[in-house]
Structure 1
């Protein structure tokens, strides 16, 4: 009976957590948002499993199916070695969505219980521990569990690390610290840096509190052991950290908006990192009140000062975000430490006879007033009621010295949490026009790359089968040179606010160059040269025979230095007929013709209209472009013939700076008009240019090259085949170039060059040749070696500490 009573808090917390999940999770919906959760967290995790079963490699190097092909460590942020992804390899018949959702919900419930367990181990009153755990459950932890899971999926292992630190100070056993830190890193390496810093601060604080119980010499030994434990945990993850760090240091990273010194060194008066904000800690005003009161107690003063400075300072956020931006998501890592200070302060208020003053709580008026006046989400938060109730309960608790009054503090956070989570847009479980099996069959029947322009962001990372290869990708890390080629040279329309997304839109010039042989699209946007294979509900599956091979040899070359001097549309004209390489050839036949055409679009009026073209265009590709002149800083969206371009708002997190809209228009039917639909706003267009390019000039290009006959790659090979070269020239691929590629011709290693601005290629002579292109992720071998050594050390350490424990017991 006593044991059951001891477990009551865990049973109640588990029940509360499950009820909270049940309340916010709509029927017939996935437990995740319609934004990054589906496109990245589910689709990329599912791709890892597909890749594992395709090549059987536990430590892969290359992701050939996304973004034209990319270093696998560009995707490592999405759980390359995460536990749920690894478990999915054992149960391939279970959908990845179910595995990820089950895992994140188990983590959520475990985090709440571990929070209570950890605080209770500090001899803090049960009610205070319970309230702290409820505040964790109603914080942003739940919201981010269905929005950005990497923001919070390390949380239970962070609590395990803190528990391990407490045990280490008692037993001097370091193994659990190393294991817990390793799990934090494997789940979210980005947030692990902040987690390690805060865990180190917690360790030093606990060491200081037991200063009188440990001699100075022993303290140094303890500190060295702790550093060793953390280092061992980091070392075991070197196979993830080193190749990822190398990749991050060698790409062009989108840093978002440029920050001014005021933004970096300023403060956040609304305390978004702490209060109510879903991309911060998401706690309520009672926590701020208690942190302010903590400054009046000797044992909690230092914690309170450090936390309040961190939560107010933009500089701290800027540094912990790797100097990328000032964002409040890093404060999610602070949750255990904020709640620790919260619980310890309430414990002092309960036991201490010291008289404290509540007048400093007036400082809380600053964030309260700021939120009330400027935060657009204030309608979702009963702010004034929260202030009054929190103040009343704290006064009652302090005067009566009764912890049960604090239990009432759980009510408003629960209501606020439900209201904030209720505004999430959960993806409905709806059927697509063509099933995954149908699309997989299409990709298997017609080798080459596949493009889906019907589902927007939803399927940019979705791989239906091992035969599905795409030019699109949505990842925080990506090949910057390929991105430049994608948008700046080939002028793919930018239909998303974030330029990092390689979105899917019709562009026949790009598709032919990139070996896009099949596509799913709306009938109205079907490009020229693609024949319909199947049609359902105005959506078609189509293929073309005009796409360039994935690898070929050509002697039609153009000097890359001269190419850099060309402007649009000459550069896209050159790419459509020649290979841009290191040569002295600069001859090309200009095929684009400027048309006499004018167009006016005004965001204030006539936002929907049909414009007649100067003539009817048959078997022609039209290149339409214009600049956006915007005065109000709002987002601009213009659709022309079903193709969308978007200029993100001035204050977007990742402004795409798409001030020039380009539309590559083509159709198997004659083009007579432009169907235009534009968003409302204070803008107009200028510098309108329309060029025509006869499709016949590019239609048969694939017949003028020597095609590489492909074979199935093995091991680390990206491309393998043979080719009979009729004229000396260059072997050209549509594989985006990055460090790590090695080429072999007839068994001999040869240097790889960057061709067509960002692709793998090399010179080749006449005759028959066997070709192999291999990719090894830079720094992976070193990382694997360090991880292996660290793992061996950990196992030896584990056995050693187990033996010591056994000897003490016997």
Structure 2
């Protein structure tokens, strides 16, 4: 390697680091929702859990989603190197590992791109220019957002280098690491590798074995995860197959957009210019079609949706065609005009103008303009991303030391809810004494999600309803065994303030349901399903829902107070607040309010009542929450008025209903199972005088086992979403265990694949 090559690689490595350091001067190189509530919070929890269990991949996480399969969170770095390395340094905050590793991979991508292009025979200046376009592609905006989308790119570039150097045996490690970083994008990466190998060498047979070995090495992750995904339905926007065949000329997957490649207009021109060369013609045409027709994004996304961010996997191929065109220095004016016809926005036209100036000078043999034009992607990237980082004040409010001290210095029996910044704190665990019923993962438990939002009607406060947030809904708090609440407000029925620190209060209610109990007060699922809101609310609280006929009757105590048939159209240019007086008795009562919402705009709509927020996602949301019927279940100690906050926009509110119910109704007596010390999920003793049901607040999923007096029981779904089983009267010892399905099988296949792969790599390398 020449000195100039080393110099260029050094520059490419340093530039991303300098950018991160500059934008982090007065902020944190991160973002609010996904980065904070998922990547950092979960990495921190993984580390805490490892210190407690000494397991890198445990079967279950006791502190999230009311006790859940640990594989539910595998997408967020469970086996990623930065997370694992953080286990060795317990005194360093995990965010430094997340930021440092994302920056390292970003910086490495530029160097790998340069080495790859140089190995293909392109000039150092052209390789450097193309690599600048690479590291300044706006997709690297995700390095402080949804980091898994771009952390797969270094392994893609490295795979190309290995193919070109005929060292395909090492591809297995790249595939394995890609799966650890982003198992969802890895199938697309494999397709790109097959396409590249066939385009360059007219064969794919030599690449299949290392791909299969790499997949085998990572089976410990993707096999149990795949099983989990297949057992959980996720709501996404419905795709019209005919629409997938209609060309989309916005080019969001290629130009400027951070949820695509995010390159400048010169890349689009390069794809058309690549058609004139036999070496790049077929690939150029295919890539043009991929960026114009949504069907390709749909296929690469596994037919889940047609989002263009998956096309970031095409980034290396685009840069290769760009480098080839610049090196050949051949301009086809007809193809240039044709490419220009697709550019229809003001931003694209400005980019076209700048590109034409560059092309004019470059093809006049003024090679120095190549480095001058390299400033364009740098300026574009900096302008779009410089002020996009996380405010330090918000970070400190989410990771509050006052909250942490409240958690650490108090005895927390059962679960805890954090009602402050619920969307951001949803996955954050301050101390392993804190067990939560909330969670935010793309593979959340579908039964539990339905229970929270559709049965007990907790407010859908976020645009994405896979986020299960804590709420003041008394049914949620009690049925999920939430004995402790962190809040700035102490006006919550049944909860008493026991401690405070700064502006935060710790509230406690010892009358919520135990996490495991026995009852004979049941109602059949078929009978319960005939009940409608709100008459099913106090029913599910006072009767356990079971599969089978029962003789226990229950009459709902809910009363209709107001029924307003008229509609109200809201037209707000900004968020507004209103106060509505209450003209009915609310003392010691639960107040249930519900109404329909019709949105007339493309933006999301939210309405808060006394701090309880409901949101209807925007019209074309990728993950629509479908929340067109807002419900508020208020259980305040004192409720004198409705404090309403209305979002900006135009929307209609109709069919307003108000119900009340005495809070005495929510005072059910059950037989608690006395917990014993155990390494299982739960072990305890109970004495019951009647045959009945063992009921838990553990969300049901396959893998649970219940033993009564050492005998394995038939696990049932009770209360529509939870683990339970029948139990006979008498004295019993209860043991509940959970084993993640296919985890052990995945581990066995991974170990076997590592052994086979190691031998195969050694043999192939020796032969070379």
TM-score range, shorter chain: over 0.9
Match of 2:461 in 1: 495
Instruction: Give the Cα separation in 1 of the matches to 2:562 and 2:185.
Output: 55
Q: 2-side partners of 1:137 and 1:521: how far apart?
A: 43
Deviations 1:458-490 (A, max 9, x none): 110001122211111111111111111000111
Q: Which residue of 1 aligns with 2:11?
A: 12
Matched, 1:546 2:544: no
Please point out which of 221, 230, 236 is paired with 2:211: 230
Question: Post-superposition shift, 1:22?
Answer: 3.5
- Aligned counterpart for 1:452 among listed residues 413, 418, 423: 418
Task: Describe the shift of the 1:640–1:536 C-alpha distance in structure 2 as closer, same or farther (beyond 3 A).
Answer: farther
**Pick aligned residue for 1:254 from 210, 227, 235:** 235
SS of the equivalent of 2:658 reads: strand
Distance in 2 of aligned mates of 1:157 and 1:35: 27
Matched, 1:485 2:451: yes
| Residue 697 (str. 1) matches residue 660 (str. 2) | no
Q: Say whether 1:562 aligns with 2:527.
A: yes
Question: SS at the partner of 1:762?
Answer: strand
Partner of 2:160: 162
Report deviation, 1:80.
Answer: 1.2
> Which residue number in structure 1 is paired with residue 128 of structure 2?
130
Which piece of structure 1 moves more, 297-306 or 690-699?
690-699
Match of 2:102 among 104, 128, 133: 104
Give a deviation string over 1:727-755, Cα, whole Å, max 9, x none.
21000000000111111111111110000
Instruction: Give the match for residue 172 of structure 2.
Output: 178
Secondary structure of residue in 2 paired with 1:435: helix
The 2-side partners of 1:138 and 1:193 are apart by 25
Within the candidate set 705, 725, 728, 1:762 is matched to: 725
Q: What is the aligned partner in structure 1 of residue 758 from structure 2?
A: 795
CA distance in 1, matches of 2:677, 2:323: 60
- The structural deviation recorded for 1:506 is 0.9
Query: Could you tell me how far apart the structure 1 residues matched to 2:213 and 2:406 are?
Result: 46
Alignment of 1:419-458 (within 5 A): 419-429=383-393, 431-432=396-397, 435-441=402-408, 445-458=411-424
Query: For residues 393 and 165 of structure 1, what CA distance do their matches in structure 2 show?
Result: 33
- 1:454-469 alignment, distance < 5 Å: 454-469=420-435
Q: What is residue 748 of structure 2 aligned with on the other side?
A: 785
Contact 2:402 2:502 in 1 (8 A): no
Aligned-partner Cα distance in 2 for 1:65–1:289: 52
In 1, distance between residues paired with 2:110 and 2:53? 39
Alignment of 1:295-694 (within 5 A): 295-349=275-329, 356-369=331-344, 371-372=345-346, 378=347, 383-400=348-365, 403-429=367-393, 431-432=396-397, 435-441=402-408, 445-523=411-489, 526-535=491-500, 539-585=504-550, 586-596=552-562, 598=564, 602-604=569-571, 608-632=577-601, 634-669=603-638, 671-694=639-662
Whether the 8 Å contact between 1:523 and 1:538 is mirrored in structure 2 is no
Shift of 1:385: 4.2
User: Does the CA-based 8 Å contact 2:29-2:389 persist in structure 1?
Assistant: no
- 1:214 is aligned to none
Shift of 1:710: 1.6
User: Quick one: distance in 2 between partners of 1:635 and 1:137?
Assistant: 33
Whether the aligned pair in 2 keeps the contact of 1:596 and 1:614 (CA below 8 Å) is no
- Aligned-pair CA distance for 1:634: 4.1
Q: 1:604 to 1:313 in 2, by over 3 A?
A: closer
User: For residues 358 and 368 of structure 1, what CA distance do their matches in structure 2 show?
Assistant: 16
Q: 1:318 to 1:6 in 2, by over 3 A?
A: closer
Task: For residues 524-579 of structure 1, give each alpha carbon's deviation from its aligned partner in whole angstroms, at most 9, with x where no partner exists.
Answer: 6x320000123456642201011100000001111111111111112111111111
Q: Distance in 2 between matches of 1:673 and 1:295?
A: 69
Secondary structure of the structure 2 residue equivalent to 1:542: strand
Please tell me whether the aligned partners of residues 139 and 260 of structure 2 are also in contact (alpha carbons under 8 angstroms): no
- For the structure 1 residues 629 and 11, does the alpha-carbon distance in structure 2 shift closer, same or farther, using more than 3 Å as the test? closer
Shift of 1:278: 0.8
* Greater Cα offset, 122-131 or 770-779: 770-779
482-491 or 257-266: which moved more?
Answer: 257-266
Q: Given the superposition, is the C-alpha separation of residues 419 and 186 from structure 1 closer, same or farther in structure 2, using an over 3 Å criterion?
A: same
State whether residues 36 and 148 of structure 1, in contact with CA within 8 Å, keep that contact through their aligned partners in structure 2: yes
* Change in CA separation of 1:356 and 1:133 when aligned onto 2, cut-off 3 Å: closer
Distance, in Å, in 1 between the alignment partners of 2:456 and 2:654 is: 21
Change (3 A) 1:634 1:101: closer
Query: Aligned pair in 2 of structure 1 residues 500, 270: CA closer, same or farther (>3 Å)?
Result: same
Q: Contact 2:403–2:501 at 8 Å: present in 1 too?
A: no
CA separation of 1:154 and 1:683: change in aligned 2, threshold 3 A? closer
Specify every segment of 5 or more residues in structure 2 that has no aligned partner in the other structure, as ranges.
none
Q: Who is 2:258 aligned against?
A: 278
Map residues 3-42 of structure 1 onto 2, 5 A cutoff: 4-23=3-22, 25-42=23-40
Distance of 2:500 and 2:318 partners within structure 1: 57
- The structure-2 alpha-carbon separation of the partners of 1:21 and 1:158, relative to structure 1 and needing over 3 Å to count, comes to same
Q: Structure 2 vs 1, CA of residues 662 and 557 (structure 1 numbering), >3 Å: closer, same or farther?
A: same
Q: Is the 8 A contact 1:138 1:414 kept in 2?
A: yes
Specify which of 718, 724, 727 is matched with residue 681 of structure 2. Answer: 718
User: How many residues end up aligned between the 2 structures?
Assistant: 761
1:190 alignment counterpart: 184
